[in-house]
C-alpha cells in the first residue's frame, strides 16, 4: 500500500507493528501536528487513532471482497504534549461481520496516557 501523499505521510506517522488484533504506530509532535499554541493538536491525535484502527481492521477483513471505513470515533485528551513522539496502540474490542470496535491508547515516551479513543469501523462489500 502506497502511503505517499496521504495524511499518514503528511503527519509523519510510522507503523511499528501491524498484526491481527493489534496495531502500533508513532507520530511526531512537531510543526505538522501542533496547534497554534504549541501543543499537540487533538485532531492530529484523532487522525492517528483512526489510522491505527483502520489498519487493524484491514488485517481482519477479506481485502479482495470487503473494504472498511471509520464509522464513529471519540476521544478524550488526557495530557498535553509540546514535543517528542506519541505512540498509538489499537486493540480489537469487537469483531463482527459489518462492524468492528477498536480501543486506542496514545502514550508518550514515558508511557503516560496522552489520549484515549474508541473507533467503530464499518465493513462493507467492495463494489
Q: Would you tell me how many other CB atoms lie within 10 Å of the CB of residue 13? A: 23
Supply the DSSP symbol for 68: E
Length of the chain: 127
Only one residue has cell 505538522, namely: 32
Which of the following is catalytic: 50, 64, 83, 109? Answer: 50
Q: Find, among 106, 100, 127, the residue nearest to 29 by Cα.
A: 106
**Residue 50 falls in the annotated catalytic set:** yes
Instruction: Indicate the pairing of strand 66-77 with strand 99-107.
Output: unpaired
Residue 20, C-beta contacts closer than 8 angstroms, at least 6 positions apart = 59, 60
The residues annotated as belonging to the active site are: 50
Amino acid at each position: 500500500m502506497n502511503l505517499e501523499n496521504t495524511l499518514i505521510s503528511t503527519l509523519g506517522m510510522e507503523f511499528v507493528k501491524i498484526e491481527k488484533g493489534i496495531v502500533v504506530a508513532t507520530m511526531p509532535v512537531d510543526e505538522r501536528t501542533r496547534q497554534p499554541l504549541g501543543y499537540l493538536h487533538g485532531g492530529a491525535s484523532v487522525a492517528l487513532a483512526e489510522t491505527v484502527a483502520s489498519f487493524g481492521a484491514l488485517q481482519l477483513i477479506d481485502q479482495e471482497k470487503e473494504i472498511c471505513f471509520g464509522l464513529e470515533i471519540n476521544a478524550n485528551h488526557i495530557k498535553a504534549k509540546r514535543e517528542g513522539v506519541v505512540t498509538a496502540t489499537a486493540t480489537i474490542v469487537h469483531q463482527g461481520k459489518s462492524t468492528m470496535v477498536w480501543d486506542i491508547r496514545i502514550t508518550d515516551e514515558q508511557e503516560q496516557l496522552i489520549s484515549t479513543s474508541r473507533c467503530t469501523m464499518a465493513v462493507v462489500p467492495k463494489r
